[in-house]
Amino acid sequence: MKSTFTLAGVLALTSSTSAHSWVEQVQKIAPNGTMVGPLGYARGWVPRTTAGWGDKIPQWLLPLSGQSAYSGDEILNKYPFQANPSQPMLQASAGDHIAILHMENGHTSLPQNQPLKPHNRGTIFFYGTSKPNAQEKLFDVHLRWNRDGTGGDKRGVLLATRNYDDGNCYQPNSGQISTSRAQKLASDGAQHGRELICQSDVKLPSDLAPGSIYTIYWYWDWPDLNAKAINMDATKNGIYPWAGTFMRGEKDPHGFTMAAIARNESYASTIDIKITSPALSGSKLKAAGQSFVAKQNIYSMAIESQMKSNYQVNIDANGAAKNPSNGDNNPVESSASTAPTDAPIGATQSPITVTKTVTVAPPAVTKTETVYLSMPADTSILRETVTSHIQSQPTNGYQPPQLTSQTSQPASPTTSVNDELPAASGGVYIAPVPTAVRRRRWRIARAL
């Protein structure tokens, strides 16, 4: 789901581009493309309403502030692992799709403020491992771990690559990108005064063990480039060098030299995911007709093209070896502006959970399937129980959702309703639009 801000509150921030980015929240994606279930958070994340909050708490700048060049000792994880963090980690199953959300802070919608940045607004690299180090060195992981897990020390994989700009996201400001995107997506519920947070949709490996913890390093490479030494137009496809390549004595696959980089700048966040036992697999859900729904609320919708492939930016140095456990390696189709079609945070159209009990004879067998559906809020369904919640308008900063359940559906197969409110993310001033969110749950019995 995506965040909500007033235009005035965000415009106050855009005069200075000092704010940068980090992972705001993580959420599971149902096969129909709707974000569902309780939110998860990156290590060290705290609500903006916390006393003494500042962006330096979640932000992790590399090289460190005041240091122009990488030392080789930079650590990806600013915060250590905690088994029971104050803000919950995401719970997901092997093979699930998840949405990893960040705010664009003007880096996408106001590119004229930083003309020497890559035109894809930087590349985000996602590295995954079940064996994280207590202090994970950037130089041991970045452009060493590859797709099939044979690179570097072989403890992890290059799980995904994404453009920082997902092609839809915007903060409310007077810039042409912000206004045009809001207009383009208006039929899906976008409002110019309500921020559409950026997302990276990633499929988890299919071989993760239930009960384990899977760690993902989010690494956004965001250097200033030397326009005299690089084709800036090509950077819309993520073609630009990383300074660490030369510091390790390696060659850039595109023939760049250090002269192409005017200033080093990158950011990192660390996400831990608790792996749970799978429900119904995505393939069975698709067989039951559970495919991506293109017309749904933009503030809770994933990006269909990103759900088809984990790799949007081709990284030649890491090869393209096929690894079935990591999903399709075909590159994501991208538009001329920068890729996909979606956005999440705050929805009026939540997925519907259907628990279907089927008795098969002989012998008598009971099979339970969970099916996700997207339906308008006013749809009438036999034997449904519906509870609506209206989200009020907070006047101070971001209020994290108060989640009482660790699963996206009730554990017991009853007709009670488990409503989940939309969650906002980021920003210093939020004015969410009142939203009715409805979940329906019913049972259907039939003989085969």
pLDDT for the residue 419: 34
- How is residue 66 written in tokens? 């005041």
Sequence-separated (6 or more) residues with CB below 8 Å from residue 363 = none
> What are 411-435's pLDDT values in tens digits?
333 333 333 333 333 333 333 333 3
Distance, CA of 312 to CA of 429 (rounded, Å): 32
> What are 260-286's pLDDT values in tens digits?
999 999 999 999 999 999 875 555 555
Percentage of the chain with pLDDT > 90? 61
Residue ranges of alpha helices (H) inside 230-312 are 243-247, 282-287, 304-308
Classify residue 91: in a domain, yes or no: yes
Distance, CA of 75 to CA of 70 (rounded, Å): 11
Classify residue 428: in a domain, yes or no: no
Classify residue 421: in a domain, yes or no: no
- pTM for this one? 0.71
Confidence of residue 292 (pLDDT cuts 50, 70, 90): very high
Classify residue 363: in a domain, yes or no: no
Range of the domain at 104: 7-346
Tally DSSP H helices, then E strands, for the chain.
6, 19
Classify residue 443: in a domain, yes or no: no
pLDDT for the residue 329: 46
Classify residue 413: in a domain, yes or no: no
Classify residue 366: in a domain, yes or no: no
For the chain, the farthest-separated pair of C-alpha atoms sits apart, in whole angstroms, at 75
For residue 11, pLDDT beyond 50: no
- How is residue 209 written in tokens? 């063990």
pLDDT for the residue 289: 58
Classify residue 151: in a domain, yes or no: yes
| Residue at 228: amino acid letter | K
Sequence-separated (6 or more) residues with CB below 8 Å from residue 53 = 46, 47
Number of structural domains the chain divides into:
1
- How is residue 154 written in tokens? 């072989």
For residue 86, pLDDT beyond 90: yes
